Amino acid sequence: MSYPDIERARAGQAALQRIVDGYAGPGADLRALRRVVDLCDELADALEDAYCREKVRVVAEYAAELLSQGEHRARGAIPGAEFLRRAIRGALELVQSRLYSIERARRHGEQALARAVSGAAHALKR
């Protein structure tokens, strides 16, 4: 069984990943930033899941910093743009993991329900 909300969220997560991976820098890319904002809104709306929404908020914040500025401040030994990319990728990986967990939980719940219905139907036939 397919879950349209999860598929929509996965499509948004993949699109965000492509934008971040495709950002050449060092200048601002306001067109990509607008697309990221739209995708983050769509992804957050796709699922009723507070964890995913929090991670999407993190993606939006870091992407806004990455895509709206020409210069990025370094974080220790890591150049600023690379730090932001890593943070965004990490948050997107957590979203991906959460989507997998939600899907597994739903499938498990459906299987348990199907077993219960089958057992009840078998009991009624007796």
Cα 83 to Cα 65: distance, rounded to the nearest angstrom: 11
Cα 126 to Cα 123: distance, rounded to the nearest angstrom: 6
Cα 84 to Cα 23: distance, rounded to the nearest angstrom: 11
62 pLDDT higher than 90: yes
The pLDDT of residue 118: 61
B/e letters for 16-39, b = 16+ CB within 10 Å, e = fewer, are: bbebbeebebeeebeebbebbeeb
- What is the per-residue pLDDT across 65-112, written as a single tens digit (0 to 9) for each? 999 877 777 788 888 888 999 999 999 999 999 999 999 999 888 776
The pLDDT of residue 79: 84
- What is the per-residue pLDDT across 6-51, written as a single tens digit (0 to 9) for each? 999 999 999 999 999 888 777 888 999 999 999 999 999 998 899 9
123 pLDDT higher than 70: no
CB 81 within 8 A of CB 66: yes
pTM above 0.85, yes or no: no
Cα 80 to Cα 99: distance, rounded to the nearest angstrom: 29
Nearest in space to 66 (alpha carbons), one of 86, 89, 40, 84? 84
